[in-house]
Structure formats: structure tokens, C-alpha cells
């Protein structure tokens, strides 16, 4: 169902939702929130990357990964390594026993940069690594698991184990990774300071831009044939397999895609918050990322963004006023979303708000396109925000 | 690294290390048995398993305090009462949770993961609110402290032996229950072919509830046992989760024997490596090996061949 | 930047510690009686901090939920007690202290976020907080960027000296060197087994310890091992210890692992009161003993600067006040006492500088003394750490420590020890 032109798409229901999100993030929030809160929103948006990835691999393809924190963390660490090397120039670190290497390496008596740090002196390599390293790991895991038809709960547990392993490794090897403190004290990106207020605003908009890029990539994947196959796989895997498709390849692809998104989110997080630590890689953080997706609506990529924003906003709000209630609220959220509204907010939206919209939208559509039979007309049919799908055009 | 030890010392090294391995093995068995039953029966992974264990531990703590205040003469035997209470309390809560939450989610195993995670958060914060954020110390009766001096160099800690005996009894008891009793027959029937089992009149919903309660009850007893060797605090349950899951998944989730074999393998590997390497590296290598093997043989060591 | 008035719209009670109105009433009474001593706000606050003629606002930032809540609650209690006592004695520069408490939730990014909020939205004059090194490292750039001052209570690995932090806890050399010397001289120890949890503090501490043992004392290190945080099975290392038979086990195990470790040691038949081996720890305070059980640690030695059982008038008063405020069964560990020092040291600096401005206070830090410290006496060093005595205590079955050794002189803090790096 190709739309005939971008302008027509913007007038369609789906386009309006995207436009709405853009207006919210680009115009409304920067105007009504103060700098501090806006920086927080920027941080929440980085989690949205992970949530969008999870919509693709969990909502559509049925692969629940409880270790997305691993990919988020890997992307974040790649960026952090680059920033740390920049902040550890020989001038800045003149008081160390070995100038030119990060401070935590100096405390651990390392005298030269470990080999895997050296390439991160280059910004272009770092950018590649932010997407490449998570994707590589996802590829390896996916290859090992999906070709052997491991799925479901087993896969989820194994992703947890991987999160646990990586956490222990990073915390233990503090000479190489900064250990439990993570990589801190990041100052400039290619000479441009990331700590000033102006920088934070710029980074916020960069984050919004990247998020939309990822949203469009996700939308492209899901609306294409690939997306259809993923949904089919989720519903009836054996039938898809018998139809001749290489199920494993598709699963690996979508898992790598989710990993790439998470990696980008991690890198943007490091830039905005100014440090990266192993606490994001662990089991608890990874499972929290799933709830953003679940709340927003596991089948809706826009819903995932809203879910990430809302849950994190609630977390900040609760912890300011009623910190002891937050774990109760979050636990209740997990249970409630799973039991009561498994398709999240998007599902609720679908059930309650769409019928209202329909009345308004149909009237506008009837006025705007009286000539619906013409071949150049929009054949997209009704947009379903819960599943981001289009139902067939009703004649 | 063996120089400097006489051969008799080396013998005792191996003896004690073997015992340490067995100790770890019984800990894993206790942790995993409760989960295996639930997972095997219903395909449900209970992420709140650690919190049920801690509930058993808190029950033990309260029992210990009660006996100290009101029945000091009987303090020596309180632990057995505590274990029974822990079983009952956790089983009751398990049944309640199953009725409220789990039974709606049987066809959605991934969602039960999330829902039980939410439950674990609730339970943790409840513990924090009731017992405080600090860990509580559970006093043990005199006879449970100390060690048996088998020889001059070989000493076997009493509580390690106690944990082993509990683990063994529960494993044996569970085996008898599953394979020699009417209830066990029903459980196996439902696992193998639910519609058919229902068709012959087995109340599968009731069996599910009873099994979940049983699994949680065993977790409670495990928690009671662990007060002897570990800490009891609101987030102490988290320390056991990853290991427990791996043992269960590695063993082939629906097989009791598989769980026991997997617990044995992992515990021996880990404790042997701990002796030669440092604790962290031993843990990481064990985890990597387990994950690697799982990638090669994802159904675990001993999977039941079940027609789905 | 939001002004103080705007940020006060947060409501009368709720997240503000004391009822705003009660506070105003109290401060009005006090202000009326102490009017002569109150310098005008324009003089003492030139950087837009939350200071009025009657009230100055500070921040408390600790974890009250999550795994670290166990440890940090004591610090929160101590800081609140100090603030209450300062208020009762007339406040700081004639102003009553109000505080905003935020929850770090045992999550380092949350610490960074909350510290940013405290400095930028609430414009607090000081932050008493952080506990783990990771939380401090997360908060540090925020402190440095917005020129705040953090009063950090935990004993830690050193290797840091920020102009925006005052470290009221010991750094590694203060805790370790004196204790190793004591073990060698008083107890004739010849071999040491170093055991810790696997992260930066134990690793750095053991690095310093090893250097001291091997190079300075010329003694032997029989083994060095690390276990992941949260690890609970210590049978293997207990076996190794039994075999290698070190004279001293130097333990820096933290968290839940502590409980498991000591219980399993006791179960393995190791009786620390026999001192064969002797166990010397830098990570078990009275707070931890509550979770471990006094009978499991009976006989171990700990190196701290403060023990609840210290016998001096300051401490007796402090313990009494603490128990009165929080309950008779409260225990007070080293970090809790260090947290208690924070508000008092801040007050002393402010009064010496005659201003709340961070830059002016900073100039006055070096040399500020606190003679009413429960540990006796402390003095701020120009590297923002404290001169304090090192003490060795032996744990008793009731969960308290009996002080067996105290350094004659105050130990100089040295976060970047030459020769130990």
C-alpha cells in the first residue's frame, strides 16, 4: 500500500500521528519545560530507541530479549570510550604517571592503552562501532540461537545470562573498562563541549532527529514484505518455514535491528548524561526497558516512544515525592499491562479513541477526496495505530 | 601450586573441595527444584522465585524471634517448625498468586515472565516496608553451628551437611511424589497432553494451582535453609535468580533428573574453578560455558520428548 | 535559573523535610532573639543560592530504595540529626536549615539527575550525599559544572581530590596502613590473605595493602582473591584459607556477600576469637553486623575511624541523641558518623567565611576543626579530606566493637599515595 506522495501521507491518519509526535518533541516540550526537565526528556528519549527496537523484535516477531541493556550499554560504552580518550589528552592528564590514558587506567597501573581502545581515537570508527558492535553481538547470539530454533522463554533467559556475564566482566576488569564506576568525566566531542546548557539543547534535538530516523527505518521494515513475514512468523512459525522462508535469517535480522537501535540510544545517552556505567547493562535495567515497550503498546512503534516517556516521567515524579511508592507502582504497572491491557496504551487508544477519530476523519476524507476511484488516489485504507498496519481499502 | 603440601594434605584438599562442591550442588538443587516443577508443569518462569525464597527466610526469622521470646526452651528445635511454616506460607501465597494472576497467562509464557517480575518488585518493596531496608540476622540454635572434625584437616561444616540433607530429602520426596503418587500421575498427564488429561476428568486448573503452590513452597524451604548460609534482606533474592534459571534451563526444564544433573555439573565446575582461579573469573567462565552449551543444545541436557 | 521563591512553590510539607510553616514560626522566634548575629542575605549569598534572611536550604541525596538503601539509611538519619541539632542551637549565620531530600534509588544516573535538580532547581547551599564511589563519580561532574559542594561520608579508595567535594570518610591509606602496621607489630603477623569483592574499592585497597605488606613491612601475601558482588558461596576460598594458613585474613567483602562469608566461615569451624587466623576487615561496621549476626563475627578486627563504643563525652552524647531520635536498637557505624560530620563542617566553614558562597567557603576549608565530633576530633586538610585517628576494634558477640588500638596521632589523608600507585 504505497502512498502516492509524501504530502498525502502527512494528511493520512498515520502521518498525523507522526506529525503530532514531532510537534510535541520539537515544539511543545522545549517551550513548556525548563532546561533541566528538557534534559531529562532527552534522556528518556534514548530509552525510546530500545523500546522501538523491542517493538520490532518482540511485538512483531515474538522474540523477547531481556538483555537489550547489553546493546544499549555497548553502544554507550563505544561512545564513552571515544569521549574519554578525547578528554584524556596528554595536556589534560599531565599529572598522571602515564599521561594520555584515561584516569582509571592510570590508577590500575596500566602504562599504555589496551589494543581495543586504540581505534576509538577516530570518530568515524566510533560511529560505526556504536551500531556495529551491538549488531555483531546480536548476530552471533542470533545465529547460535535461531538456527537451532531456540525461542521463547529459553531465549529470554539466555539473554539474561548474557547480561549478567557482561556486567560481571565489565565490573571486574576495571583497568580496561572503568569497572563499576563506569566511564565518567566526559567533556568534549571533537572539541565541542557537551556539558554546557546550549550543548544539551543541541543534543536533545539531535536525539529527536535520530529517533525519527529510527522510527522511519522501523516503519519501512514493518510495512514492507519483511514486516509481514515477521508477523506471520510470530503467529505460525512452522507454516512460514514450510512456505520456504528462512525463518532464522529473518529473526537474526530483526534482532540485529533492535540491537542497532539500542546501540544508538546508548551512544546518545552517553552524550547527554555525560557518563556510562555497567548498571545499564544488567538484568534489572534490561527488563525495565521491556516495560517501556509493553506500556506503550508492543505492536506500535509510536506507542513505544510514548511508553518510554511516560514511564520515565512517572519514575522521576514518584521518586521526588513518594520514593517508597515507586517500586509498588512499577510492579503494579508490569502486572497491569500484562493482565489488563496487553497491547498497552496503543491498544487502549485503538479501542477508545479511534472510533471518535473516525467520525472526524471520515468527514474530512470525504470532503478532500471525492474521487476515490481514481488510480492515483491513496489506496492505503484505514490505519490501525495499535499494530501500525493498514487494513484493506473498503470499496 | 601443589608443592609444599604433603600427600595427606592433598587428600584432605580434595576431600574438602569435593565437599564444597557438594555443598554448592545442594544449594543449586534446592533453588532449582521449585522452579523446575513450575516450569516443567506449566511453562511458566517465575521471576519472583528469589522473593519466595526470601519469604521463607523472613518466616524463619520471625519464627526464630517468636521462639526466643516465648518458647526459649524449645529453641533448639525451632528450625524444623520454621521450615514447615516457610513451606506453608509460601505455598499459600503461591496459590493466591496463581489464582489471581498466573492462570490468565498460561498461553503467554513471555508475559508471565514480565508479570512475575512485577510481582518480585512488589514483594521486594513490601519486605522493605515491613522489615526495613537493612538485612536481618537469623539466630541459629547451638547444635547447628560449628563443624564435624572428621580428621585433623578435614572439617565438614554442620550447616552445609544440613542443607545437603534437606536438599536430598526434598529431591527424593519430590521424585516419589511425581512418580509414585496419584497426584504425580495427574501432573505428568497434564504435562504430556492437557486436553486428553482433561478429557479423562483431571482438573487441570486445580493441578496447576497445586503445582505452582508446591513450587513456591519448596522455594520457601530453600529460603529457610539459606538463612544459615546467606543474607536475608529485601533484595537478597536477586542474587539467586540468574543461577537458578540457568540450572533449570540447562537441565532441560521438564525433567527433574535433568535439573539435578545440571546442578551437579554446574556446581562442580564452578567450585573446582574457584579453587584454581579467582571467584570472579570462575563465575564468568562457568556462565560462558553454560551459555555456550545451551547455544549448541538449546533444549538442555535432558529434555522430555513431548508432542506439542 | 529558577529563583528560590519559585522553587518554594513545592508545597508546605511533602518533599520538604520540615513543615514550612512550623519552620517559619520557629525561625521567627529565633531570629527575633538572635537578630544581632544575622548578617543580611545580600552579603552572605551572592551566587543565587537558596538563602533568605531566615532559612538556608541544603540537599540530602541518598538511596532510600534499592539495594543500597540498607547502607545509606544510616547516613540520612545522621545528617538529619545534625541539621536538627544545628537548628536548635541557632542555625547557621542565624538562619535555620531546611532540606530537600531526594532518592538516588541505588542507581547512579538517578544520582546524577537528582544532584542536577538540587543544584539547578532548588539552588541548595550544600549537598550531603552519595555513598558508593560510583554514585559519587556520577555526581561529580554535576558538582563541578554548577559549582556545588558535596559532603561525602563513605570510606573509599582515594585517588580523587575534587574542589567540589569534602570527603568526611577515610581514604584508603588512612584505613589500611595503620591497621597493617598494627597487625604486624602487635599481633606478629607474617602472612596475609587478601580477599575482597570484585570492584574498584577492594582492588585498590588490596593494591595498597600488598605494596605495604611486601615492600614496607617485608612480609608475605599468601593469596589475593575477588568474588563478584552478590556472590554467596565461599566454601572454596574457605578451604584455600585453611590450607594456606595465613596469619591474617584481610577482608574487604561488601554487601550481601559479607553475610554469607562470615556465616560460612563460622560454619566451617573457624573461630576468630582464637585469632588463628586473625581476620582484619575494612568493610564491616556495626550496621553490617546487624545483618550478619554478632555471633558470626565474634573476634574479628575492623579498621575504622569510629566505633559506636568509643568512650569520649562527644560520642556518649551523640549515641544518646541518635537513639532518642531513632530508637533504642539503633546501631551507628563509621559511615553514619562521617555523615553526621558533614553538616557541622559545612556550618563551621560558612561561619568562618561569613558567607554561603561556595568559592568563599572553599577558601576556608583547610584547617577547620570540629572538636565535638563523636570520633573525638577532626580537621579538614587542604586536599578536602579529614585528619582523623585510625582505630582498630574487635567485634563482640553483642554486635559492638571493643576498641583495642588507636593511633596516637591523627593520620594525614593522602589520596594519591606516592609509592603505592
* Contact call for A107 and C159, based on CB within 8 A: yes
Cα B96–Cα B98–Cα B102 angle in degrees, nearest 5: 145
CB within 8 Å of A212: residues ≥ 6 apart:
A18, A22
Q: Is the minimum CB–CB distance between B288 and chain A shorter than 8 Å?
A: yes
- Tell me which residue in C14, C138, C159 faces A321 most closely, judged by beta carbons: C14
Helix axes C256-267, C235-244, angle to 10 degrees: 50
| Rounded Cα gap, residues C56 and C50, in angstroms | 6
- The pLDDT value recorded for residue A394 is 46
Collapse the DSSP code of C387 into the 3-class scheme (helix H, G, I; strand E, B; otherwise coil) and give the result.
strand
Per-residue pLDDT tens digits for A244-287: 888 889 999 999 999 999 999 999 999 998 889 888 888 888 98
Mean pLDDT over A335-343 rounds to: 85
Of A2-11, B8-17, B252-261, the least confident: A2-11
Of A34-38, A337-341, A368-372, B240-244, the least confident: A368-372
Do residues C248 and C219 lie in contact, with contact meaning Cβ atoms separated by under 8 Å?
Answer: no
Q: Which residue has the higher pLDDT, C70 or A294?
A: A294
Does position C330 have pLDDT exceeding 60, yes or no? yes
- The pLDDT value recorded for residue B8 is 72
- The pLDDT value recorded for residue C11 is 39
Of B3-12, B60-69, B175-184, C214-223, the least confident: B3-12
- Please return the burial class of C122, using the count of CB atoms within 10 Å of its CB with bins 0-12, 13-18 and 19+: buried
* Contact call for A323 and C110, based on CB within 8 A: no
- The pLDDT value recorded for residue C343 is 94
Cα C292–Cα C295–Cα C296 angle in degrees, nearest 5: 50
| Rounded Cα gap, residues C252 and C204, in angstroms | 11
Task: Mark which residues 23-42 of B lie under 8 Å from A by CB.
Answer: 39
Q: Which residue has the higher pLDDT, A385 or C259?
A: C259
Per CB-CB distance under 8 Å, the chain C contacts of B145 are 266-267, 295
Do residues B214 and B91 lie in contact, with contact meaning Cβ atoms separated by under 8 Å?
Answer: yes
Collapse the DSSP code of C403 into the 3-class scheme (helix H, G, I; strand E, B; otherwise coil) and give the result.
strand
Q: Which residue has the higher pLDDT, A382 or C261?
A: C261
Q: Which three cell numbers stand for residue A105?
A: 587506567
- The pLDDT value recorded for residue A375 is 44
- Which residues partner with B157 through β-bridges? B147
User: Given a contact as 3+ CB pairs under 8 Å, which chains touch B?
Assistant: A, C
Per-residue pLDDT tens digits for C143-197: 988 999 999 999 998 888 999 999 999 988 888 988 999 999 988 889 999 999 8
Cell 584437616 sits on residue: B153
Instruction: Tell me C10's DSSP state.
Output: G
- The pLDDT value recorded for residue C169 is 92
CB within 8 Å of C21: residues ≥ 6 apart:
C12
Does position C354 have pLDDT exceeding 50, yes or no? yes
- Which residues partner with A192 through β-bridges? A189
- Tell me which residue in B19, B125, B230 faces C259 most closely, judged by beta carbons: B230
Does position A162 have pLDDT exceeding 90, yes or no? no
Write out the H or E segment, with its range, that includes residue C202: helix C200-211
- Please return the burial class of C364, using the count of CB atoms within 10 Å of its CB with bins 0-12, 13-18 and 19+: middle
Q: A297 in the Ramachandran plot: left (φ > 0), alpha (ψ -120 to 50) or beta?
A: left
- Give the ipTM of the model, two decimals please: 0.81
Q: Which residue has the higher pLDDT, C77 or C2?
A: C77
Closest CA to A68 of A209, A222, A261: A261
- The pLDDT value recorded for residue A385 is 64
* Contact call for C134 and A277, based on CB within 8 A: yes
Mean pLDDT over B40-61 rounds to: 87
Whole-model pTM? Answer: 0.82
Edge-to-edge strand ranges of the sheet holding C127-129: C96-103, C55-62, C127-129, C150-152, C165-167
| Rounded Cα gap, residues C225 and A339, in angstroms | 46
Per CB-CB distance under 8 Å, the chain B contacts of A156 are 45, 110, 113
- Tell me which residue in C198, C267, C292 faces B137 most closely, judged by beta carbons: C292
Please give the mean pLDDT across all residues of chain A: 83
Does position C27 have pLDDT exceeding 70, yes or no? no
* Contact call for B245 and A161, based on CB within 8 A: yes
Of B27-41, B198-212, C374-388, the least confident: B27-41
| Rounded Cα gap, residues B173 and B159, in angstroms | 21
| Rounded Cα gap, residues A317 and C318, in angstroms | 35
Residue C37 banded pLDDT, cuts 50, 70, 90: low
| Rounded Cα gap, residues C177 and B289, in angstroms | 40
Does position C35 have pLDDT exceeding 80, yes or no? no
Cα C216–Cα C222–Cα C224 angle in degrees, nearest 5: 90
- The pLDDT value recorded for residue C288 is 85
Per CB-CB distance under 8 Å, the chain A contacts of B128 are 324, 327
Does position B225 have pLDDT exceeding 80, yes or no? yes
CB neighbours (10 Å) of residue B195?
8
| Rounded Cα gap, residues B181 and B172, in angstroms | 13
- The pLDDT value recorded for residue A196 is 82
Please give the mean pLDDT across all residues of chain C: 85
For C233, the closest chain B residue by CA position comes to B24
Mean pLDDT over B158-171 rounds to: 85
- The pLDDT value recorded for residue A380 is 46
- The pLDDT value recorded for residue A121 is 87
Residue B269 banded pLDDT, cuts 50, 70, 90: confident
Per-position DSSP letters for A76-125, written without gaps between them: HHHHHHHHHHHHT-TTTTTTSSSTTS-HHHHHTT--S--TTTGGGGSHHH
Amino acid at each position: 500500500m504505497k502512498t502516492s506522495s509524501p504530502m498525502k501521507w502527512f494528511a493520512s491518519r498515520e502521518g498525523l500521528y507522526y506529525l503530532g509526535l514531532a510537534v510535541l518533541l520539537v515544539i511543545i516540550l522545549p517551550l513548556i519545560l525548563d532546561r533541566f526537565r528538557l534534559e531529562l526528556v532527552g534522556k528518556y528519549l534514548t530509552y525510546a530507541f530500545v523500546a522501538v527496537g523491542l517493538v520490532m523484535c518482540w511485538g512483531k516477531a515474538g522474540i523477547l530479549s531481556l538483555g537489550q541493556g547489553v546493546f544499549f550499554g555497548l553502544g554507550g560504552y563505544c561512545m564513552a570510550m571515544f569521549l574519554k580518550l578525547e578528554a584524556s589528552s596528554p595536556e589534560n592528564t599531565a599529572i598522571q604517571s602515564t599521561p594520555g590514558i584515561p584516569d582509571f587506567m592510570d590508577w590500575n597501573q596500566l602504562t599504555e592503552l589496551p589494543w581495543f581502545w586504540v581505534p576509538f581515537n577516530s570518530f568515524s570508527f566510533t560511529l560505526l562501532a556504536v551500531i556495529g558492535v551491538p549488531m555483531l553481538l546480536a548476530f552471533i547470539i542470533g545465529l547460535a540461537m535461531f538456527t537451532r530454533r531456540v525461542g521463547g522463554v529459553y531465549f529470554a533467559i539466555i539473554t539474561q545470562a548474557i547480561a549478567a556475564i557482561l556486567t560481571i566482566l565489565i565490573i571486574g576488569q576495571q583497568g580496561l573498562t572503568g569497572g563499576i564506576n563506569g566511564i565518567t568525566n566526559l567533556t568534549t566531542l571533537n572539541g565541542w563541549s557537551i556539558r554546557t546548557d546550549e550543548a544539551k539543547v543541541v543534543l536533545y534535538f539531535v536525539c529527536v532527529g535520530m529517533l525519527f530516523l529510527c522510527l522511519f527505518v522501523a516503519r519501512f521494515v514493518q510495512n514492507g514484505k519483511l514486516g509481514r513475514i515477521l508477523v506471520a512468523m510470530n503467529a505460525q512459525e512452522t507454516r512460514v518455514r514450510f512456505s520456504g522462508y528462512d525463518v532464522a535469517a529473518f529473526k537474526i535480522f530483526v534482532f540485529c535491528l533492535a540491537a542497532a537501535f539500542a546501540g544508538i540510544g546508548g551512544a546518545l545517552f552517553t552524550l547527554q548524561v555525560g557518563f556510562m556505567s555497567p548498571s545499564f547493562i544488567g538484568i534489572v535495567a534490561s527488563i525495565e526497558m521491556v516495560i517501556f515497550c509493553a506500556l506503550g503498546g508492543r505492536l506500535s512503534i509510536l506507542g513505544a516512544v510514548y511508553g518510554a516517556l511516560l514511564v520515565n516521567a512517572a519514575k522521576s515524579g514518584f521518586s521526588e515525592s513518594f520514593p517508597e511508592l515507586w517500586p509498588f507502582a512499577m510492579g503494579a504497572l508490569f502486572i497491569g499491562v500484562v493482565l489488563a491491557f496487553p497491547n498497552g496504551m496503543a491498544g487502549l487508544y485503538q479501542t477508545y479513541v479511534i472510533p471518535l477519530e473516525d467520525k472526524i476523519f471520515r468527514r474530512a476524507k470525504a470532503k478532500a477526496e471525492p474521487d476515490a476511484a481514481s488510480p492515483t488516489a491513496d489506496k492505503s485504507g484505514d490505519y490501525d495505530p495499535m499494530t501500525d498496519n493498514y487494513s484493506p481499502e473498503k470499496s | 601450586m601443589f608443592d609444599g603440601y604433603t600427600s595427606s594434605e592433598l587428600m584432605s584438599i580434595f576431600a574438602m573441595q569435593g565437599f564444597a562442591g557438594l555443598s554448592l550442588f545442594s544449594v543449586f538443587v534446592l533453588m532449582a527444584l521449585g522452579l523446575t516443577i513450575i516450569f516443567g508443569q506449566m511453562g511458566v518462569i517465575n521471576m519472583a522465585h528469589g522473593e519466595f525464597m526470601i519469604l521463607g527466610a523472613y518466616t524463619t526469622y520471625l519464627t526464630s524471634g517468636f521462639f526466643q521470646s516465648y518458647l526459649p526452651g524449645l529453641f533448639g528445635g525451632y528450625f524444623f517448625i520454621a521450615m514447615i511454616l516457610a513451606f506453608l506460607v509460601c505455598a499459600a501465597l503461591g496459590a493466591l498468586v496463581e489464582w489471581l494472576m498466573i492462570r490468565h497467562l498460561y498461553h503467554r509464557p513471555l508475559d508471565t515472565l514480565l508479570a512475575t517480575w512485577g510481582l518480585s518488585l512488589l514483594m521486594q518493596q513490601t519486605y522493605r516496608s515491613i522489615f526495613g531496608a537493612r538485612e536481618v540476622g537469623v539466630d541459629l540454635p547451638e547444635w547447628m553451628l560449628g563443624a564435624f572434625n572428621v580428621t585433623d584437616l578435614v572439617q565438614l561444616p554442620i550447616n552445609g551437611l544440613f542443607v545437603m540433607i534437606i536438599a536430598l530429602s526434598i529431591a527424593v520426596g519430590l521424585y516419589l511424589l511425581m512418580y509414585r503418587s496419584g497426584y504425580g500421575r495427574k501432573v505428568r498427564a497434564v504435562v504430556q497432553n492437557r486436553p486428553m488429561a482433561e478429557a479423562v476428568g483431571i482438573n487441570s486448573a486445580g493441578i496447576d494451582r497445586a503445582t505452582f503452590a508446591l513450587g513456591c513452597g519448596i522455594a520457601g524451604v530453600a529460603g529457610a535453609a539459606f538463612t544459615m548460609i546467606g543474607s536475608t534482606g529485601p533484595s537478597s533474592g536477586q542474587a539467586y535468580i540468574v543461577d537458578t534459571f540457568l540450572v533449570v534451563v540447562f537441565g532441560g526444564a521438564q525433567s527433574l533428573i535433568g535439573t539435578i544433573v545440571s546442578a551437579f555439573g554446574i556446581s562442580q565446575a564452578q567450585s573446582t574453578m574457584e579453587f584454581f582461579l579467582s571467584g570472579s573469573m570462575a563465575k564468568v567462565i562457568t556462565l560462558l560455558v553454560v551459555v555456550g552449551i545451551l547455544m549448541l543444545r538449546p533444549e538442555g541436557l535432558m529434555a522430555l520428548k513431548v508432542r506439542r | 535559573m529558577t529563583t528560590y521563591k519559585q522553587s518554594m512553590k513545592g508545597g508546605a510539607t511533602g518533599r520538604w523535610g520540615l513543615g514550612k510553616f512550623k519552620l517559619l514560626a520557629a525561625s521567627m522566634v529565633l531570629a527575633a532573639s538572635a537578630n544581632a548575629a544575622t548578617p543580611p542575605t545580600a552579603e552572605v549569598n551572592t551566587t543565587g543560592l537558596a538563602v533568605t534572611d531566615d532559612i538556608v536550604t541544603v540537599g540530602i541525596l541518598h538511596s532510600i530504595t534499592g539495594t543500597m538503601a540498607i547502607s545509606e539509611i544510616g547516613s540520612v538519619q545522621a545528617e538529619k540529626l545534625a541539621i536538627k541539632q544545628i537548628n536548635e542551637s541557632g542555625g547557621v549565620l542565624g538562619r535555620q536549615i531546611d532540606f530537600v531530600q531526594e532518592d538516588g534509588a541505588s542507581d547512579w544516573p538517578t544520582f546524577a539527575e537528582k544532584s542536577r535538580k538540587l543544584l539547578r532547581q532548588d539552588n541548595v547551599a550544600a549537598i550531603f550525599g552519595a555513598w558508593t564511589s560510583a554514585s559519587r563519580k556520577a555526581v561529580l561532574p554535576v558538582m563541578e559544572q554548577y559549582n556545588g559542594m558535596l559532603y561525602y561520608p563513605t570510606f573509599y579508595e582515594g585517588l580523587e581530590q575534587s574542589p567540589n567535594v569534602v570527603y568526611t570518610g577515610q581514604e584508603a591509606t588512612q584505613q589500611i596502613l595503620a591497621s597493617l602496621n598494627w597487625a604486624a607489630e602487635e599481633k606478629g603477623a607474617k602472612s596475609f590473605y587478601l580477599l575482597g569483592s570484585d570492584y574498584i574499592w577492594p582492588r585498590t585497597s588490596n593494591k595498597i595493602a600488598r605494596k605495604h605488606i611486601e615492600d614496607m613491612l617485608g612480609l608475605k601475601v599468601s593469596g589475593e582473591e575477588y568474588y563478584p558482588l552478590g556472590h554467596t558461596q565461599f566454601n572454596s576460598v574457605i578451604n584455600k584459607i585453611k590450607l594456606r594458613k595465613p596469619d591474617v585474613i584481610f577482608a574487604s567483602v561488601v554487601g550481601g556477600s559479607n553475610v554469607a562469608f562470615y556465616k560460612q566461615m563460622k560454619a566451617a569451624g573457624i573461630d576468630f576469637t582464637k585469632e588463628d587466623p586473625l581476620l582484619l576487615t575494612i568493610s564491616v561496621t556495626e550496621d553490617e553486623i546487624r545483618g550478619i549476626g554478632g555471633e558470626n563475627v565474634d573476634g574479628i578486627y575492623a579498621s575504622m575511624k569510629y566505633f559506636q563504643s568509643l568512650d569520649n563525652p562527644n560520642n556518649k552524647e551523640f549515641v544518646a541523641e541518635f537513639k532518642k531520635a531513632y530508637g533504642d536498637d539503633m546501631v551507628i557505624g563509621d559511615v553514619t558518623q562521617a555523615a553526621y560530620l558533614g553538616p557541622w563542617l559545612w556550618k563551621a566553614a560558612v561561619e568562618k567565611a561569613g558567607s554561603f558562597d561556595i568559592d568563599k567557603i572553599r577558601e576556608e576549608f583547610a584547617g577547620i576543626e570540629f572538636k565535638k565530633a563523636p570520633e573525638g576530633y577532626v580537621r579538614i586538610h587542604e586536599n578536602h579530606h579529614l585528619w582523623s585517628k585510625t582505630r582498630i576494634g574487635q567485634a563482640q558477640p553483642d554486635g559492638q566493637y571493643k576498641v583495642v588500638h588507636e593511633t596516637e596521632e591523627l593520620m594525614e589523608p593522602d589520596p594519591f599515595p606516592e609509592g603505592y600507585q
